[in-house]
């Protein structure tokens, strides 16, 4: 039996590393992780000492060295869309969905995975969500978009 291929990923807004751990368990190699929160960064570094890690705002990082990577993954902050908050969407300074789209545009990965809260899909954010889908469609990534099933 042959060696399985090594799939390479970038993990944005990685926090303490939950998504990186899941990717690792699924056979992915996270080549770069980015998180700006100091406490979460310390935990990530402890749990993933061999992963290239940047404690920075994603908006301040150039990702051109990762052009064509297999996967860009991440969960932009959910506060702008959470029903537990004010739901300000693009008017919330914590809205990092455009930063995620920029990284996809810059790297042109083979695939991307963006995770967020169900509040992003509410009627209140329908216009915003539609604009995000159009951004991904303009990059030729989205055809027949539909959200993953929530449980």
**Active centre residues (catalytic):** 78
- Please give the biggest Cα pair distance in the chain: 54
**Residues 6+ positions from 97 with CB-CB distance below 8 Å:** 76, 114, 116, 132
Terminus-to-terminus CA distance in the chain, angstroms? Answer: 37
Q: How far is CA 85 from CA 24, 56, 135, in A?
A: 32, 25, 25
Q: Give the span between the Cα atoms of 63 and 104, in whole angstroms.
A: 9
CB 86 within 8 A of CB 129: no
- Dig out the tokens for 87 from the structure: 């739901």
């Amino acid at each position: 039996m042959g060696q399985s291929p090594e799939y390479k990923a970038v993990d944005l807004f990685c926090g303490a590393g939950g998504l990186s751990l899941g990717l690792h368990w699924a056979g992915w190699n996270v080549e770069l992780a980015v998180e700006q929160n100091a406490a979460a960064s310390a935990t990530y570094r402890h749990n993933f000492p061999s992963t290239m890690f940047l404690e920075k705002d994603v908006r301040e990082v150039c990702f051109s060295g990762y052009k064509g990577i297999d996967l860009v993954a991440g969960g932009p902050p959910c506060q702008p869309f959470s029903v537990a908050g004010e739901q300000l969407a693009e008017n919330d300074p914590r809205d990092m969905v455009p930063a995620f789209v920029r990284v996809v545009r810059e790297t042109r990965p083979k695939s991307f995975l963006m995770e967020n809260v169900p509040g992003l899909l509410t009627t209140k954010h329908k216009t915003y969500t539609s604009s995000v889908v159009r951004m991904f469609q303009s990059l030729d990534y989205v055809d027949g978009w539909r959200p993953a099933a929530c449980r």
